[in-house]
Structure 1
């Protein structure tokens, strides 16, 4: 029987997206099917929830990222090589929980040393360094990210990689940076990079304690010299969440004027910005 080309197989398998049982069975048919199914299975894995996926992703760390773990006495096996470079297929990165990391650490590290008395949770330094190493690896390897959600602290190395994605990536449409405790330097670098991105339709910048000065910096990222000018000129953003950011009433009137000119924004979240909302 003549084999179908990869392009046809890929389109067929895309119709099975989300049907994991069927896709897993397709992996076992032959190498060609496997090669076309793997990118679909790995497009949106919630690996931070799954210790097995965490284990697979740890194998993709480079020497610099592995050194971060070694410095915390976390040793990885060197005798395992994955069949595919799985992280490069990921299009949706959700960094929202440490459950998978905690379970991996308990199963692979704690149990192997018979250290059942060790307390491991999201605040543990070892869990945080694993999360950090995995995050920078994913941001480094992902080729066509569409969705990116990061909850919790963002560090310098992560900012550089995020900035590169914002500037050069043409597929990112959903970005959520929530409760990241951003320093002013990191915040400025991020939003300046966002200035050059024209594909975002959904931006969640909530719970980042933006004051009016930092709000002006954010406005630059959305397309202008102030928030009002940004909203009136931006041609892609449809959803914007600035809730719980301490924005003051001084931003209210310019925003009102901008919204009368903006033709793309259909949802604006301002919960928790009391003075700001009153001014609007």
Structure 2
């Protein structure tokens, strides 16, 4: 049994992969893949809290062992919240709780081998996309107030990568660039994910056809409306309904994307992190050993 940990980052197509696996059960069975559903992940893992230790961990162990008995040779645990939030009070780096959380998951789950397939994206698009997600979840902070403290800290992906490597071994951690993959199209992105840990046979998978425009973000008008409406939303149900409404009517598919970071801020982030991001991707590609290519 190979356990594939697909744990982030946020805003890197995690929902697309989760929904594709959920909506294609025959394809998953045909390729001997079992998965943890998103709803189960929410209950067992949450936002990287201690739920996964008790009672979540025994349930996950049982699910994986059951999948092995059913001859599902790959178990995909896809949940972007498992390593905590990217900006937590416990540290001044991206996902400061990632190393400890990855260690708990790696030590606690059964499986012949556990690997992590983790997508990162450039710091400019990550900051802007994650901010919009907080607004869609009901927050109403202005972008400058939210982002300025983060620009003073570290936005490097290296500590997260090294934390995953410490927990799983460098040969078991593969970083991928979300931006370059998704620009090739949704089908190519899905194929790339599964190719990381298994040989992809199009006769068994098909052509990765799947409805587009999943989990859209809000456009500039949607952001303006959300900032005015969100202070009055007092329940999770009201926040969810408003989010769905804004995504359907005022998404970035129909309205311009909000202008958030300034040109100077974008240039600063790019010059500081672009080369490092490329080096991390290349380093992980050199040291990762895909399960179907091992030995």
Question: TM-score, structure 1 length as denominator?
Answer: 0.28
Larger Rg: 1
Query: Which one has more relative contact order, counting CA pairs under 8 Å at least 6 apart?
Result: 2
